[in-house]
Structure 1
């Protein structure tokens, strides 16, 4: 057979394929939908949060910049780019979108091209060539395929919000560990400073004891005080190393050689996040958005289960050229099927999907209640820790003044050693407590940012780009 003949026949097959596709396009009409009308579950929300709060729009975006730490900014940017758990979440977005693409493919015709070549030589020579195109399509009268595709799309959206929730938690965890490392460094410096002061007092007491002014009891007591301050440092170093290594993992770095340049917590500012109104949580928290996306998916599943009870029409079109028959070959087959008896499978699936909707509606309401509880807890913590920090700062000022006066009076011989010893320990405890309250104060601000939705913005929440989930 000549090349020109094959080309001509190929054009005729293409023409037949075009006709078949046109026919299928006419049949692809929007059918009725059996998906329940989605209604967002109602949940009574208070007009405002408890206590004095700022009702202006809640702050989002790169909230960590409110602490005014370039090193913290760098660590969070590094974590969002390199954290392996977040990378895995971004990959799950791609997986969900691919699954949604597979589910959506059933809405469109399937077209296959093929050909046969056969040659026989028994008592005569027979040669057969055929080229054909086959198209199959399931007419979606009841919206079953569309509902299945929409369900998969909603689940894909849920994975986007899941990744945003993880991104929000990751940023908060990095900030918490960073502040913890700096706090432990401050506490180590304090313990070393107090131990050095205690050693100087010990030297003084030893001189006095050599002159008979005090007994060896005072020397032993002061040596015990100094050793107690020194003994506090190894556990603090261990806690600092643990927090530092955890921070390294969060930012996707190896613990070996990982270190910080921070100069302590005193250089940081404690921000006051705007809380907005409770109703704003529905648009801000990605975990609530994820719960609602899964609820919408379940609604579409109910439509799929309902459509399974109704008749189903499938079309199978075949067109081609057969050289042995000497002309065109074609066939059109329509198959109409109606479920009659399936042992309760269809009814059971429908009841399952309807119960699943009720389950996810309850989960959605629960996610809102938990978010409100989270915000109220963090608001209370921020409010009370702010008061606690002021009071503890006053206690430290008093302890420092008392220690100064006690040392002066002891050197002049106008106070006893027991008073000096008590004042030393009181000063250390007051300053160490203040550092711990400072850490809690900063972490409460981080917790409030996280509870409000963290690194959210309209563009971030509306986008379905996994690249934007992974990078700020």
Structure 2
């Protein structure tokens, strides 16, 4: 035989579920439905720079391919196996990405918790005590389940779930932004390390020339063709050029330590490989997506959009608080001794009447928050256009500077050789040789710095365009699942 308690329990459950089904059919969602921002109307970043780079007017600058997105790992255009090795180590070990990963998991749990409030809430309770009357006393107890359900007539809880989902999206985009920043920093520090080493090698070459010049002057002094003043000048030039080494060594060590930290390793525990300028190749062409596509490619813009979505859902949450709430509750308990089964089903309706203006203020505040998020989104988009425009012009100007430095280096090299030959022939004094050496020194270091700037421009352009970082977290999750 089926017990009466079981029949009551089933009847109570059917009542609660019927009410829940009715709420799903009748509930309305207050607050605005989120609409993605209107796509950018801009078709260009900087017309002049685009025309020059797209048509190859500057032979020393990489050409750009407009309306083409970045494919694969953006740093692969630098064609450096060493960089790819360090990049993978940094991506796998970076603690900022690990923290972002955990933050995403936390945000996902917040979404799951919010979704749970849309379902019936079932609890179990038990109580016991002792009561007396007329000189007699007895023990009493009650034990059984209870069920409650909020019909969410105006969709406040659903808007809360939507808000939590948008905030989870925000964290995923922040992960992608951290990934983009990390990869950009790794490439930049690797190039700075290579540049410092190249400049150190150049200074070592200059010092060797200084020593040869000093030896030549000292020989001339012994044979009477040079004065003690000439010897002092040559010694001064050598001493001055030696002061160039410590700052360059510091630049090298700072870049090396930075790469260790980006890989979340102490500098004493892991050191990156010795990068040289020959380990990189300057891309001959660079893809440049349209401004309308940047909004889909840059993680910071997508994060601002997710923040805007969350602000829109918050309006719905605050608006729903202005309307009545309908709840259904039921309980079933065994009480005793001698009482039997107790059950109850109750519905409750609560509507706000007077809260001192708090609820309306919350709603107005949520609308203001949405307006602020919209302004932040638009400013993020505009800022991204400015960053790309700056880099495009930098590619042009740095190519012009590199060409000028190449010409200066060639002229300085020719002048130095002529002056050295003239001094050996006794036709000129040592001052002209030293002046030619200083000019060659400046031109050589300037040429290395100009070439480094061109490499860094290529890195900065890829980063400014989003670096194909959108979806980096999803790709990492897929990779972990397939391992």
CA deviation map 1:28-85 (0-9, x unaligned)? 4141111213333447532223223422322143111111111111111111121222
Write the mapping of 1:266-277 to structure 2, written as runs, cut at 5 A: 266-271=278-283, 272-277=285-290
Residue 391 of structure 2: aligned partner: 378
CA deviation map 1:153-187 (0-9, x unaligned)? 10110111011111101110111111111111111
Shift of 1:232: 0.9
CA deviation map 1:186-228 (0-9, x unaligned)? 1111111110111011111101111101111111111111111
* Alpha-carbon distance between aligned partners in 2 of 1:471 and 1:201, rounded to the nearest angstrom: 64
* Alpha-carbon distance between aligned partners in 2 of 1:397 and 1:428, rounded to the nearest angstrom: 12
Whether contact under 8 Å (1:17, 1:133) holds in the other structure is no
Whether contact under 8 Å (1:94, 1:466) holds in the other structure is no
Residue 61 of structure 2: aligned partner: none
> Quick check: 1:244 aligned with 2:239?
no
Equivalent in 70, 84, 105 of residue 73 of structure 1: 84
For the aligned residues, what is the CA RMSD?
A: 2.9
> Quick check: 1:360 aligned with 2:378?
no
* Alpha-carbon distance between aligned partners in 2 of 1:210 and 1:10, rounded to the nearest angstrom: 120
Whether contact under 8 Å (1:57, 1:276) holds in the other structure is yes
* Alpha-carbon distance between aligned partners in 1 of 2:360 and 2:12, rounded to the nearest angstrom: 40
CA deviation map 1:242-294 (0-9, x unaligned)? 22212211111111154343351133112232112110011101111111111
Shift of 1:332: 0.6
TM (norm. structure 2) is: 0.88
* Alpha-carbon distance between aligned partners in 2 of 1:269 and 1:238, rounded to the nearest angstrom: 25
Residue 66 of structure 2: aligned partner: 55
Residue 197 of structure 1: aligned partner: 209
Write the mapping of 1:244-263 to structure 2, written as runs, cut at 5 A: 244-256=256-268, 258-263=270-275
After superposing the two structures, state which structure 1 stretch, 384-393 or 115-124, moved more: 115-124
* Alpha-carbon distance between aligned partners in 1 of 2:201 and 2:304, rounded to the nearest angstrom: 46
Shift of 1:455: 3.5
Decide whether aligned partners of structure 1 residues 323 and 361 sit closer, same or farther in structure 2, where only a CA change above 3 A counts: same
Shift of 1:105: 2.1
Equivalent in 37, 45, 64 of residue 41 of structure 2: 45
Equivalent in 433, 437, 442 of residue 424 of structure 1: 437
Whether contact under 8 Å (1:311, 1:336) holds in the other structure is yes
Decide whether aligned partners of structure 1 residues 9 and 323 sit closer, same or farther in structure 2, where only a CA change above 3 A counts: farther
Whether contact under 8 Å (2:45, 2:386) holds in the other structure is no
Residue 409 of structure 2: aligned partner: 396
* Alpha-carbon distance between aligned partners in 2 of 1:402 and 1:288, rounded to the nearest angstrom: 53
Q: Secondary structure at the match of 2:319?
A: helix
* Alpha-carbon distance between aligned partners in 2 of 1:299 and 1:470, rounded to the nearest angstrom: 34
> Quick check: 1:176 aligned with 2:188?
yes
Residue 344 of structure 1: aligned partner: 357
Residue 108 of structure 1: aligned partner: 119
Whether contact under 8 Å (2:193, 2:275) holds in the other structure is no
Residue 326 of structure 2: aligned partner: 313
After superposing the two structures, state which structure 1 stretch, 405-414 or 422-431, moved more: 405-414
* Alpha-carbon distance between aligned partners in 2 of 1:468 and 1:146, rounded to the nearest angstrom: 32
Shift of 1:12: 6.0
Decide whether aligned partners of structure 1 residues 423 and 464 sit closer, same or farther in structure 2, where only a CA change above 3 A counts: closer
Shift of 1:86: 2.1
Q: Secondary structure at the match of 1:433?
A: helix
* Alpha-carbon distance between aligned partners in 2 of 1:216 and 1:145, rounded to the nearest angstrom: 91
* Alpha-carbon distance between aligned partners in 1 of 2:481 and 2:267, rounded to the nearest angstrom: 22
After superposing the two structures, state which structure 1 stretch, 389-398 or 227-236, moved more: 389-398
Shift of 1:130: 5.2
After superposing the two structures, state which structure 1 stretch, 322-331 or 416-425, moved more: 322-331
- The total of aligned residue pairs comes to 465
Whether contact under 8 Å (1:313, 1:334) holds in the other structure is yes
Equivalent in 376, 399, 406 of residue 419 of structure 2: 406
Shift of 1:119: 8.7
* Alpha-carbon distance between aligned partners in 2 of 1:397 and 1:266, rounded to the nearest angstrom: 20
Residue 284 of structure 1: aligned partner: 297
After superposing the two structures, state which structure 1 stretch, 395-404 or 448-457, moved more: 395-404
* Alpha-carbon distance between aligned partners in 2 of 1:89 and 1:242, rounded to the nearest angstrom: 26
- Consecutive unaligned residues of structure 1, counting only runs of 5 or more, are none
Residue 436 of structure 1: aligned partner: 449
Residue 103 of structure 2: aligned partner: 92
TM (norm. structure 1) is: 0.90
Equivalent in 240, 243, 252 of residue 231 of structure 1: 243
Whether contact under 8 Å (2:40, 2:291) holds in the other structure is no
Equivalent in 434, 449, 454 of residue 462 of structure 2: 449
* Alpha-carbon distance between aligned partners in 2 of 1:369 and 1:469, rounded to the nearest angstrom: 36
Shift of 1:343: 0.2
* Alpha-carbon distance between aligned partners in 2 of 1:469 and 1:396, rounded to the nearest angstrom: 51
> Quick check: 1:218 aligned with 2:230?
yes
Q: Secondary structure at the match of 1:246?
A: helix
